[in-house]
Amino acid sequence: MNLHELTIKKAHTLLKEKEISSQELTRAVLDRIDAVEEKVGAYISVARETAMAQAKIADKAISQGNILPLTGIPMAIKDLMCTKGLLTTCASRILENFVPPYDATVVKKLKTQGAVIIGKANMDEFAMGSSNEHSAIKLTHNPWDLTRIPGGSSGGSAAAVAADMCIGSLGSDTGGSIRQPASHCGVVGMKPTYGRVSRFGLVAFASSLDQIGPLTKDVTDCAMVMNVISGYDSADSTSVPEDVPDYTSFLEDDLRGMVVGIPKQYSSAKGLDPDVSEAVKNAVEKIQGLGAGCVEVSLPHTEHAVAAYYVIAPSEASSNLARYDGVKYGYRDKNKKSLMEMYKSTRSRGFGPEVQRRIILGTYSLSAGYYDAYYGKASQVRTLIIEDFKKAFESCDVILSPVAPTPAFKIGEMVDDPLTMYLSDIFTLSANLAGIPGISVPCGFSSNGLPIGLQIMAKHFDEGKLIKVAYNFEQSTDFHKKKPKL
């Protein structure tokens, strides 16, 4: 096996037994990036020198018997998490030269483990998008079919994992931005419970929705990364002081006694591709065959979720992105004479069209005379969606659904149709509005060979159940073993 194809678990074992070194593993990943990055476009920046330096330090630690689960493991970081001394652009012109003076908490945790930061992954600008076509830096292609999107906004992170251009990666999920690209790229992606993973150092899009999580080659790796990044952080006011279990303890073969819920609203969703419907149906049957019970549940306010999300998220974005004004840091148009002209020109040139669209939507929703009608009403709908999930979980342990209504679509196919693009998040964004955890695990392929993911959702802080169900399903299938041919 090529070293770049290793999982985190396998690489950890080989490093521990000193059969390979972190420097060999890191070099193999960098060679893989050299070989396929031109086709895939997963990275905004590759940290070659610092990565090799970190690998050398990891090897020294291992030689002294100090090895933790992620020691010496090359990881990719979505380019909206602050990395000290490394460019952090959010795939935007307005931050194209920003080098943070500190690390995000999750990055600090990876470094404490001795992980190797291999580079910063491409994304939709400021995480606003479902296709990765809104990056101001470059286009990322789906490794399974280079004419198709990898999903968004964590498309670079998912594509890097799928193409073996890192051993694991971190993404962020505001309305499906980890799970949807994981589904499209045939990898595992988890959005933890809101407050489970620190958001300190994550450049904010929508503060009440954003959550950092892992994108990995299998469920075992997902559990290993969750063990490292989870936990309370006093630097993040939204972090929850809840005990963190050992997520690898949920990697056990037995679903007897568990009950899965199937939302009746999802099967009749508009635009659901027959291949996706069939793959998810087969996955549900497989999970039942592994001993789980199955009940129908109702999430009656699902039809309002997209509308509520696209008021709440842009409103919070409008507020969060007000700081990019050409004064404090980032891009500035220096050719304007007055302050107001400089503001206008800086923001018009610095932000791409999708970010501008959402800032305008959000500013309108928050403006005097419209706040109650839009933001206030959307917040009430959000409460109803939270109640829907609470009621549904009274009769089941987890809820199963598709991740995306279709497999990955062609690059350019929906870029001029933002409404259809927004509807592609119909199955994922309810979990963000409710703050509950969700995972995407590969569950099949479309008729033209594109990966399809199964979404599993659970109650707040019940990530362990997600891992258990996902692991059992994964172990009984071989979808996760298939690789794109690049």
Number of H helices, E strands in the chain: 16, 11
Tell me the per-residue pLDDT of 426-477, one tens digit each, with 9 for 90 and over.
999 999 999 999 999 999 999 999 999 999 999 999 999 999 999 999 999 9
What Cα–Cα distance (Å) separates residue 411 from each residue in 63, 134, 326, 361?
Answer: 47, 11, 32, 25
How confident is the model at residue 421, as a pLDDT?
82
Is 78 labeled as catalytic in the residue annotation?
Answer: yes
Mean pLDDT on 48-61: 98
| Coil vs helix vs strand at 256 | coil
Helix or strand run (H / E) with residue 276? helix 274-289
In angstroms, rounded to a whole number, what is the distance separating the alpha carbons of residues 48 and 30?
7
Question: Which of 21, 22, 78, 440 is flagged as catalytic?
Answer: 78
Is 177 labeled as catalytic in the residue annotation?
Answer: yes
**CATH number assigned to the domain comprising residue 381:** 3.90.1300.10
Q: If pLDDT is split at 50, 70 and 90, which confidence band does 162 have?
A: very high
Is 319 labeled as catalytic in the residue annotation?
Answer: no
Question: Which of 22, 130, 135, 153 is flagged as catalytic?
Answer: 153
Residue written as token pair 């789906």: 142
Tell me the per-residue pLDDT of 319-354, one tens digit each, with 9 for 90 and over.
999 999 999 888 998 998 899 999 999 999 999 999
Q: Is the pLDDT of residue 161 over 90?
A: yes
In angstroms, rounded to a whole number, what is the distance separating the alpha carbons of residues 428 and 440?
10
How confident is the model at residue 172, as a pLDDT?
98
In angstroms, rounded to a whole number, what is the distance separating the alpha carbons of residues 155 and 465?
26
Question: Which of 157, 177, 198, 239 is flagged as catalytic?
Answer: 177
Burial 122-144 (b: 16+ CB within 10 A, else e): bbbbbbbbbbbbbbbbebbbbbb
- Domain extent, residue 364, equals 1-486
Looking at the structure of the chain, the number of domains it has is 1
